[in-house]
Copies of this chain bind each other. A is one copy, B any other.
Amino acid sequence: MSLSLISLGLYDLRDISKKALDEARLCNILYFEDYTSYYDNSLEEIEKAIGLSIERLSREGIENNSEKIIKEAKQHKVGILVIGDALSATTHSSLLLEAKQKRIKIKVIHGSSILTAISETGLFLYNFGKITSIPFENKEIYEPYEVIKRNKPLHTLLLLDLKDKNYMNAREAIDYLLRIEEERKEKLFTEDTLCVICCALGSDNSIIKAGKVKDLIKLTFDKYPQCLIVPGKLHFHEEEFLETLK
């Protein structure tokens, strides 16, 4: 039959599109994958909204069970509900590739994503460079710092790790970058660096705050998920916008 990657969108059940909802309802087997992102509704609430029972997949679930899923997709209409836009994680494109290679019909239904929602900061999307992410286990990890450096004069979006419903906050991301700065001493990320913190974008309680690192670390943000942006060179328009977020 077929394999569909169905996007739930950015934050909660009200972000799903009609296209995604209709596609989900046509499926015989539905999985929900929530290890890569925060989602504000429970599995039970999603089941109620769609009207079908859904099986939760862990990260190991999708990687270890790809054989099972592919096998099912040969016989049934299988859908995987994904938070944000469908292919943001590489495991999804692996699965899609496997299905394509096995000549299973595939379909992707798109949804809203943090990767474009960050335009709410007033920073222009075409002024961003490569995206990077900060893992919890980052003792020997230099990639995020180096991406900021290589991206300059472009902006850098740093996505933050999550593990077992524990979401990294922007403060931890800043502490990590300051620690690498202390090792590297390249004056790339200091207490005077301008940053933007985004919390719970797409929700009614979203917070966007711009400021120097030394000012931002005095604040506490309790809405999740959070991400951090290190702006590069600012267009005067972007600068003015960030002023309103200080």
A72 touches B (CB below 8 Å): no
A148 to B115 Cα, complex, angstroms: 21
Copies of the polypeptide in the assembly: 2
Of residues 6 to 46 in A, which have CB atoms within 8 Å of B's CB atoms? 7, 9-10, 13-19, 22
A100 to B16 Cα, complex, angstroms: 28
Chain A interfacial residues counted at CB < 8 A: 51
A131 touches B (CB below 8 Å): yes
A241 touches B (CB below 8 Å): yes
A87 touches B (CB below 8 Å): yes
Q: Which residue of B lies closest to A10 (CB)?
A: B110
Flag the segment in A91-99, A169-177, A182-190, A213-221 that touches B: A91-99
A64 touches B (CB below 8 Å): no
Q: Which residue of B lies closest to A96 (CB)?
A: B122
A18 to B21 Cα, complex, angstroms: 10
Nearest CB of chain B from residue A152's CB, rounded to whole Å: 12
A132 touches B (CB below 8 Å): yes
> Can you name 21 A-B pairs with beta carbons within 8 Å?
A7-B112, A9-B17, A15-B18, A15-B19, A16-B17, A85-B112, A85-B116, A86-B119, A87-B116, A87-B120, A90-B237, A93-B124, A96-B241, A97-B122, A97-B237, A100-B244, A101-B244, A110-B116, A128-B131, A129-B129, A130-B154
Residues of A within 8 A of B (CB): 7, 9-10, 13-19, 22, 84-88, 90, 93-94, 96-97, 100-101, 108, 110-113, 115-117, 119-120, 122, 124-133, 154, 201-202, 237, 240-241, 244
